[in-house]
Amino acid sequence: MKERNDIWNSLITAWKGLKVTLGHAFQAGKQRKPQGVAEDNYFKQQEGLVTIQYPREKIPVPETGRYQLHVEIDDCIVCDLCAKICPVDCIEIDAIKAVEDIGITSDGTKKRLHAARFDIDMAKCMYCGLCTTVCPTECIIMTDTYDKSVANMHELTYRFSEMSPEEAAEKRRMLEESKKPKTDNTP
């Protein structure tokens, strides 16, 4: 009698285990939908494979997320506020005073300085977002790009200035020229 009960219990246990395995096997045919953390059922167990097929599939990131920085350099007035507030000094700006009219930003702010250099070292950045909050023209922003892997760490220094060293040298020369006292050649 005991042997018969043991056999019966073994069969029931094996069947329970098999049911779990078969359940997962059938669910594996379905793909779980990537969901952003802001969605209501983000933490609910969904049916299907949990593994996201990255990079073909990505989990949507929240709008307020802090990821890679971008500078819309045409809208930058080179005020240096972002570099000054950065707690880890990862923004390097080299400004040259413009002697000619260099136009306005998209919000109508007059531009008076050239950005001969505007580098952000994202390897140093701690994603605090302070630089984006102080920018008067809102031209430095956090994008939703988070998957930026590089083979060489130096590639994480993003260069936003569009000015070549030769152009920068010319702008400096023009500035020095403008500082020279005007000679009056009238007889």
Binding residues vs ligand SF4 (CB under 6 A) = 69, 71, 76-82, 85-88, 90-91, 93, 120, 125-131, 134-137, 139-140
Alpha carbons 25 and 18: distance in angstroms, whole number: 10
Query: Taking a C-beta distance cutoff of 8 angstroms, is the pair 132, 140 a contact?
Result: yes
Whichever of 78 and 96 has its CB closer to ligand SF4, that residue is: 78
Give me the phi and psi of 138, to 5 degrees please: 55, 40
Residue closer to ligand SF4 by CB (options 28, 150) is 150
Token pair listed for 125: 């950045």
- Minimum gap (Å) between residue 66 Cβ and ligand SF4: 7
Nearer to ligand SF4 by C-beta: 77 or 96? Answer: 77
DSSP letters, 78-133, are ---HHHHH-TT--EEEEEEE-SS---B-TT-PBP-EEEEEEEEETTT-----HHHH
CB of residue 92 to ligand SF4, shortest distance in Å = 11
Output the smallest distance, CB 165 to ligand SF4, in A: 20
The residue among 71 and 116 lying less far from ligand SF4, judged by its C-beta, is 71
Supply the minimum distance, in Å, between the C-beta of residue 59 and ligand SF4: 22
Q: How does DSSP assign 126-138, residue by residue? A: ----HHHHH-TT-
